[in-house]
A and B are shown apart, each in its own frame.
Chain A
Amino acid sequence: SQTIHQWPATLVQPVGSPLSLECTVEGTSNPNLYWYRQAAGRGLQLLFYSVGIGQISSEVPQNLSASRPQDRQFILSSKKLLLSDSGFYLCAWSVSEMTDTQYFGPGTRLTVL
Chain B
Amino acid sequence: GAGVSQTPSNKVTEKGKYVELRCDPISGHTALYWYRQSLGQGPEFLIYFQGTGAADDSGLPNDRFFAVRPEGSVSTLKIQRTERGDSAVYLCASSLNGGAAYNEQFFGPGTRLTVL
A, B bound:
no
